[in-house]
Amino acid sequence: MRHPQLERVLAAVLQYGTWLATVVIAAGLAMTRTRIATAGIALLILLPVLRVALMLIVFVRQRDYRLGAVAALVLLLIGLGFTLGVVA
């Protein structure tokens, strides 16, 4: 099953999110503020996670529980990887 509206929304989130992260990183580097640049890098890293979370919400709202379960599993694995990375 295709979800053309979802694909457009996800593309827009990634496009504008990437631009925002790039601007934040550039501002942090221009002002020699490491924390601002780090925030921009974190935003860039979080964009794919946001994409999966958005997919989960849309799939559940559309009652496509199979794809919703896949998105939930991916989020669970991302969270597990993050937790193990912080603990280690």
Q: Can you give the three-state secondary structure of the chain, one letter per residue? A: CCCHHHHHHHHHHHHHHHHHHHHHHHHHHHCCCHHHHHHHHHHHHHHHHHHHHHHHHHHHHCCCHHHHHHHHHHHHHHHHHHHHHHHC
Residue-range domain boundaries for the chain:
4-87
- Whole-angstrom Cα distance, residue 66 to residue 7? 18
pLDDT in tens, 39-62: 999 999 999 999 999 999 989 998
- Whole-angstrom Cα distance, residue 50 to residue 16? 13
> Which residue stretches of the chain have pLDDT < 70?
1-2
